[in-house]
């Protein structure tokens, strides 16, 4: 779909649909394919608060401030590989939780960073809730500025 010569959205459209006569964008927007896409997108976009996290939750998205970074430990995984692992204490206005980071992720954060976590999962390790990225989760640094220009987690 184009809006004043700028791409506004892109969707995969099946060849069968394109070959139908009398095709209109309105008809495409009413298909199950687009409904599933929009539902999946709205589900993934939901942001959580740390207070609301429970064990076994998946597809967790949140923003938090890095409060502490433990020294990395070198371990041998159950597959016999050497790995570096660390626990990072993150927090938002509602609470704190430990985030488990592996290998290259360990150097990706520092105390004071604000991070965006996408598609993580919550588990319990030794009776304590923790967040992990797994294979599909992502972690990125972001800057959050309030209207007066101050980081909203600066005084936690």
Going from the C-alpha of 80 to that of each of 72, 75, 133, 135, the distances in angstroms are 18, 9, 21, 18
- 151 inside domain: no
**Count of domains for the chain:** 2
Place of tokens 């938002």: 92
**Structure tokens belonging to residue 16:** 């069968």
Q: Nearest-5° angle of CA 145, CA 148, CA 154?
A: 55
- 96 inside domain: yes
Give backbone dihedrals phi and psi of 15, rounded to 5 degrees, phi first: -65, -40
- pLDDT for res 154: 44
pTM of the predicted model as reported, rounded to 2 decimal places: 0.63
User: Which DSSP category does 58 fall into?
Assistant: -
- 150 inside domain: no
User: Which CATH number do you get for residue 108?
Assistant: 2.40.50.140
Distance CA 153, CA 111 (A): 12
- pLDDT for res 146: 47
Query: Would you give per-residue pLDDT tens digits along the chain (156 residues)?
Result: 445 556 556 667 667 766 666 666 566 666 676 667 666 665 555 688 999 999 999 999 999 999 999 999 999 988 899 999 999 999 999 999 999 999 888 888 999 999 999 999 999 988 899 999 988 899 988 865 444 444 444 443
Query: In this structure, are 66 and 110 located in the same domain?
Result: yes
- pLDDT for res 8: 58
Give backbone dihedrals phi and psi of 50, rounded to 5 degrees, phi first: -60, -35
Distance CA 28, CA 12 (A): 11
Q: Which domain holds residue 40?
A: 2-44
- 154 inside domain: no
Query: In this structure, are 80 and 10 located in the same domain?
Result: no
Q: Is 84 helix (H, G, I), strand (E, B) or coil?
A: strand
- pLDDT for res 51: 93
- pLDDT for res 104: 84
Going from the C-alpha of 120 to that of each of 4, 35, 44, 80, the distances in angstroms are 37, 24, 11, 24
Residue 41 near residue 85 (C-beta atoms within 8 A): no
């Amino acid at each position: 779909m184009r809006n004043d010569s700028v791409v506004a959205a892109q969707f995969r459209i099946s060849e069968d649909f394109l070959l139908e006569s009398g095709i209109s964008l309105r008809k495409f927007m009413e298909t199950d394919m687009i409904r599933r896409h929009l539902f999946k997108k709205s589900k993934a976009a939901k942001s959580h608060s740390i207070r609301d996290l429970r064990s076994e939750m998946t597809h967790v998205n949140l923003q938090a401030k890095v409060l502490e970074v433990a020294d990395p430990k070198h371990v041998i995984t159950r597959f016999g590989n050497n790995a570096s692992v660390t626990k990072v204490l993150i927090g938002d206005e509602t609470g704190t939780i430990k985030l488990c980071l592996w290998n290259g992720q360990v150097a990706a954060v520092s105390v004071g960073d604000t991070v965006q976590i996408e598609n993580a999962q919550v588990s319990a390790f030794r009776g304590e809730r923790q967040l992990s990225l797994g294979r599909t989760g992502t972690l990125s640094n972001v800057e959050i500025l309030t209207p007066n220009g101050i980081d909203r987690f600066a005084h936690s």
